């Protein structure tokens, strides 16, 4: 059975870009594969240094996955930091790639351009992500378009290792669904926590309404393009075109219709989420991480042998 794996950073509340770009494709397809889903808490450390917030975000992100339809009996759902093999393999991969190669990272350059601290973790981020993927012999990685290059880095890291030592790693494929590859935010740019243009996935109805009402509209057109673009995630084109025809030029009515549609999707998940306790999350992550550790541990033993540190 092919292996299917993805991860999301617990760096803040999930938004509908994360949901449509990565979580929903994962939930829709994981039953056809042997599947792995990670809370990548060590990646979040590149930007988040508040221990209470990190702890809270790990609990909260895991509740989001479970509420969105991830069954921990069928998916190895785990916490990256509980499987130390990830950081161990990342180091080995870092010793195989060059600084100029890592300097090509768009994500790194974008973050610097936004004024984020250029810590060494941020720079080495792609090799930790490569380790996340390669440790499990992953075939397919469902992600949004912004992660395309990161999956490419994982392929290159696998090839570098295989050429230098022995053929141990599979080169994974990214799975990027074009219609949701880059979900736009309330200002039309890519939806992103750091642009403050998000619609929260598990916000209250009021939070959703507030975010939708803040979608930037261009008063010259008949159809508010940014509203329409987000709305197209929730309704197919014929239904949407009919709705936008009936409410031609009535931006407020269209935004209210969008609030209804977002809330209709989220309400059942929100209800399910409210029934999941912190203790449930701790148990699920401990079980999943133990399962992941078994696989990662065996793989790392082969890696240690291949590089020459097993005497």
CA–CA–CA angle 135, 140, 142 (5° rounding): 110
Task: Please identify which residue in 4, 8, 200, 299 interacts with ligand TYM, judged by CB under 6 A.
Answer: 8
Given the residues 63, 190, 295, 299, the one annotated as active site: 190
Specify whether 193 is catalytic: yes
Specify whether 190 is catalytic: yes
Q: Which of residues 25-84 bind ligand TYM (CB under 6 A)?
A: 40, 43
| CB-based contact 266:202 (threshold 8 Å) | yes
- The order of strands in the sheet holding 75-79 is 75-79, 34-39, 3-8, 140-142, 173-175
Specify whether 24 is catalytic: no
Piece of the chain touching ligand TYM by CB under 6 A; list 145-153, 212-220, 268-276, 298-306: 145-153
Instruction: Rank residues 92 and 133 by Cβ distance to ligand TYM and give the closer one.
Output: 133
Total interface residues for ligand TYM by CB under 6 A: 26
Contacts of 83 (CB under 8 A, 6+ apart): 135, 289, 292, 293, 296
Rounded CA separation 68/126 (Å): 27
**Residue number, nearest CB to ligand TYM:** 21
- Does position 150 interact with ligand TYM (CB under 6 A)? The reply is yes
Given the residues 63, 111, 255, 295, the one annotated as active site: 111
CB atoms under 10 Å from CB of 178, counted, come to 7
| CB-based contact 122:164 (threshold 8 Å) | no
Instruction: Rank residues 6 and 186 by Cβ distance to ligand TYM and give the closer one.
Output: 6
Which of 220, 244, 139, 180 has its CA nearest to residue 22?
Answer: 180
Which residue reads 């409410």 in tokens? 247
Task: Please identify which residue in 3, 4, 18, 139 interacts with ligand TYM, judged by CB under 6 A.
Answer: 18
Task: Please identify which residue in 3, 9, 57, 186 interacts with ligand TYM, judged by CB under 6 A.
Answer: 9
Instruction: Rank residues 48 and 256 by Cβ distance to ligand TYM and give the closer one.
Output: 48
Is the torsion defined by CA of 229, 232, 234, 235 positive or negative? Answer: positive
DSSP-derived 3-state class of residue 61? helix
Q: At closest approach, how far in Å is the CB of 247 from ligand TYM?
A: 26
DSSP-derived 3-state class of residue 35? strand
Length of the chain as a residue count? 311
Q: Which of residues 162-201 bind ligand TYM (CB under 6 A)?
A: 180, 182-183, 190-192
- Does position 129 interact with ligand TYM (CB under 6 A)? The reply is yes
Task: Please identify which residue in 41, 132, 139, 261 interacts with ligand TYM, judged by CB under 6 A.
Answer: 132
Residues that bind ligand TYM (CB under 6 A): 5-9, 17-18, 21-22, 40, 43, 129, 132-133, 141, 143-144, 146-147, 150, 180, 182-183, 190-192
The set of catalytic residues is 111, 190, 193
């Amino acid at each position: 059975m092919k292996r299917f794996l993805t991860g999301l950073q617990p760096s803040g509340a999930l938004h509908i870009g994360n949901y449509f770009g990565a979580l929903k494709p994962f939930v829709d397809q994981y039953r056809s594969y042997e599947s792995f889903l990670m809370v990548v808490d060590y990646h979040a450390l590149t930007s988040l240094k508040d221990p209470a917030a990190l702890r809270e975000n790990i609990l909260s992100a895991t509740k989001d996955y479970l509420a969105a339809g991830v069954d921990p009996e069928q998916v190895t759902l785990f916490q990256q930091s509980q499987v130390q093999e990830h950081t161990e393999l990342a180091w080995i991969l870092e010793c195989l790639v060059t600084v100029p190669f890592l300097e090509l990272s768009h994500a790194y350059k974008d973050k610097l351009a936004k004024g984020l601290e250029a810590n060494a973790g941020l720079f080495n981020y792609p090799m930790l992500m490569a380790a996340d993927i390669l440790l499990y012999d992953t075939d397919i990685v469902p992600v949004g378009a912004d992660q395309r290059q990161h999956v490419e880095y994982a392929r290159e890291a696998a090839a570098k290792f295989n050429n230098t030592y022995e053929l141990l790693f599979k080169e994974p494929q990214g799975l990027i669904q074009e219609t949701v590859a880059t979900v736009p935010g309330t200002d039309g740019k890519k939806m992103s926590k750091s642009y403050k243009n998000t619609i929260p996935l598990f916000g209250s109805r009021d939070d959703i309404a507030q975010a939708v009402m803040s979608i930037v509209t261009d008063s010259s057109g008949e159809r508010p393009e940014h509203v329409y673009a987000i709305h197209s995630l929730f309704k197919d084109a014929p239904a949407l075109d009919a709705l936008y025809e009936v409410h031609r030029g009535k931006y407020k009515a269209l935004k209210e219709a969008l609030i209804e549609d977002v809330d209709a999707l989220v309400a059942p998940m929100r209800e399910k989420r409210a029934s999941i306790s912190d203790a449930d999350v701790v148990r699920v992550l401990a079980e999943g991480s133990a399962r992941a550790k078994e696989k990662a541990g065996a793989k790392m033993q082969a890696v240690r042998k291949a590089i020459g540190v097993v005497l």
